[in-house]
Amino acid sequence: MRRSNQLLATLLVASAACALAPAYAGGKPDLSAFIGRWQIDPSRTTMGRDGPSANNILRSNTFTFQFTQQGKEVEMEVYAQYPAPEPTRTQPVIADGKVRVCMSKNPCLTVGGDQKDQTFAWFGMDAHMLARLFWVKGQIYDYSSLTVSSDGKTLTLISWTPATPYWQNIQVFTRQD
C-alpha cells in the first residue's frame, strides 16, 4: 500500500507541475542547483517503467549526467559510461515549456531511433525541480521529473510512460563535484 501511495503522490505532483509550469511567475528558474556532474547510485535506483515482468535494465554503474552553463543556457550531457571522451548525447535545458526538436548528433532518448522524430520540452517548477516531456513522431512517449535535494547532494529522476504511469524508473544520482 505504501508504494501505491508514493506513486499516487508522485503522479499528482508531476501532473500539477506540468499543468502549472506555464504559469511559473519567475520566468525561467535559476538552474544553478543542477550545474555539475551527477553519477547514478545503483543501490538507490529502481528501474521499473516497463513493468514487473520486463527486462528493466539498470544503467551502467558510471552512468552520468553533467549539467553545464553555456552562456545563458544550461546543457545536459549524458554519459552511458563515465569517463568518456565525449557524451553519449546532449540536450539543451531551456525550462520555458517550448517544444524543441532533438538536435544532438545521437538520439535524445535512450531507446534510439531518429533524433529528428524526437521532440522535448522542459518546464521549470522552481530552482530545484524540472519536468521534461518527450514525444516521438508527435506522440507523447515519456514524462520525467528531475529534482535536486535541498542540500544539493542528490538528484532524483523519475520517469514513466503515459500508458503505464504506475511503472516508473526512479534513478538516484549523487553529486560528484
Domain ranges in the chain are 2-175
Which residues are registered as beta bridge partners of 174?
Answer: 39, 154
Instruction: Give residue for cell 549524458.
Output: 78
Tell me the pLDDT band of 2, cut-offs 50, 70 and 90.
Answer: very low
pLDDT tens string 67-84: 999 998 999 999 999 999
Residue 65 has a pLDDT of 98
Residue 1 has a pLDDT of 44
What average pLDDT does the structure give for the chain? 87
CB 170 within 8 A of CB 40: no
90: pLDDT strictly greater than 50: yes
Pick the CATH number of 2-175 from 2.40.128.20, 3.30.300.30, 2.60.40.1220, 3.40.50.150: 2.40.128.20
pTM of the prediction? Answer: 0.84
Distance separating alpha carbons of residues 12 and 10, to the nearest angstrom: 5
C-alpha cell at 20: 502549472
